[in-house]
Amino acid sequence: MDTKDYVARDDKYVTPIYASLPIVFEKSEGVWMWDIEGKKYLDFVSAYSAVSFGHLNPRIKKALLNQLERTDIQARAFRHDKLGEYAEMLCKITGMDQMIPMNTGAEAVETGLKAARRWGNMVKKIPDGKQHIIVCKGNFHGRTTTIVGFSSDAEYRRGFGPFDGGFSHIPFGDIAALEKAITPNTCAFLVEPLQGEGGIHVAPKGYLKQAQDLCKKNNILLLLDEVQTGMGRTGKNFCYQHEIDKPDGLMLGKALGGGIYPVSAFVARKDVMDVMDPGSHGSTFGGNAIASAIAIETIKILQEEKLTERSAEMGDYLMKKLRALNSPLIKDIRGLGLLIGMEINTKIVSTDDICKRLLKKGIISKDTHGTVVRFSPPLTITKEEVNFAVQCVTETLRELEAEKVSAT
């Protein structure tokens, strides 16, 4: 089969909920991927941070295979020897008290929302059904019906109603708007410390600390979604560490599974978790022995191989290289660590055109909302590999600049 055959079969049997490009990958290792025709690509997306530790990381692969020699999954009505170790390590690295293991990022967010609402009812004494949660415009927390119900993106919501309500929106980074939105029934403020899918928007300096102080003053839970920004991505183990000690609740996923297995978790302080009891929540696969063994290894890798420090160093290096381009096609370069957005002057050129041209040069990037090109390579990337990517970006921008000049 060639590429056309694979694409034709996909198009016939796979519902097109993604606008996938006609490239078929069959091999990956470290920061590189190969298609079925043998072409090599530098992965500058990392499956939205899921592959933060590199494709088929040998240590994660070994942890998976070793666990498969022992046991797979069992009902959560019983215990296994890996979950407690995983939970302890995750709580210690985040500074939290307890965790609820899940599989996907959206599940982690849903778990946090349930815990917050029950906490609001049982602890803050908000009448059940009146619990109110504040979220930010431009958020992306997943694609379940509850979550898309409070998305500010009309396309995510279209045709999926009715939604359950209980959420209100404020501008991201606006502390005055947060204070104004608080009501006696507000139980939580859910926010990404850096909006990834929203366009790589970094909150104003001091915003997270101000939000935390405001939440404490009003007895509101500060819930942080770090499914994409956690596990070293922004140059800290967790993005909140750029400003605060810890939130009241934290959602994690993607990189926690090492790019090999779906692993997520909601971690929080004990009084928040105390409202959850047997039967209040669950997951057949959440926290299974395979997931736990992998998560244990990802946490060890993050710490032992100093990938957080590497993310800060390589991110700073990449940011400086991109800012030095001084291209009229670039409106802004922003981000933290190795989560960087290149905002494009779309009056001159489209982000889609840039991403497709980069792909031809062997760079996998991602268009975000038609205005930003997202760069988020594995944290294992080397300076030489960053230089290769920047050279491809430079060539692409220069080609487009020349085309636009000749066209006028």
254 catalytic? Reply is: yes
How do strand 186-191 and strand 221-225 relate by DSSP bridges? Answer: parallel
Candidates 374, 343, 334; CA nearest to 358 is 374
Catalytic residue among 82, 246, 254, 321: 254
Is 352 labeled as catalytic in the residue annotation? no
Please report how the helices 83-94 and 289-304 are oriented relative to each other, as an axis angle in degrees rounded to 10. 40
CA dist., res. 376 & res. 182, Å (int): 34
Strand, coil or helix: 333: strand
Catalytic residue among 53, 140, 172, 266: 140
Percent of the chain as helix, strand, coil, to the nearest 5: 40, 20, 40
How many whole angstroms separate alpha carbon 252 and alpha carbon 295? 11
Does residue 25 carry a catalytic annotation? no
Residue 49: is it exposed, middle or buried by C-beta count within 10 angstroms (0-12/13-18/19+)? buried
Torsion angle (degrees, nearest 10) of CA 67, 73, 77, 79: 0
Specify the DSSP class assigned to residue 184.
T
**DSSP, res 78:** S
Question: Would the CA dihedral through 386, 387, 388, 394 be positive or negative?
Answer: positive
Classify residue 239 by its DSSP letter: G
Round to whole Å and give the CA distance between 103 and 252: 10
The catalytically annotated residue of 44, 53, 172, 225 is: 225
Concatenate the DSSP letters of all residues of 262-288 into one string.
--EEEEE-HHHHTT--TTS---SSTT-
Q: How many CB atoms lie within 10 A of CB 77?
A: 7
Question: Nearest 5°: CA angle at 93, between 89 and 95?
Answer: 110
* Contacts (Cβ under 8 Å, ≥6 apart) of 271: 119, 123
The residues annotated as belonging to the active site are 140, 225, 254
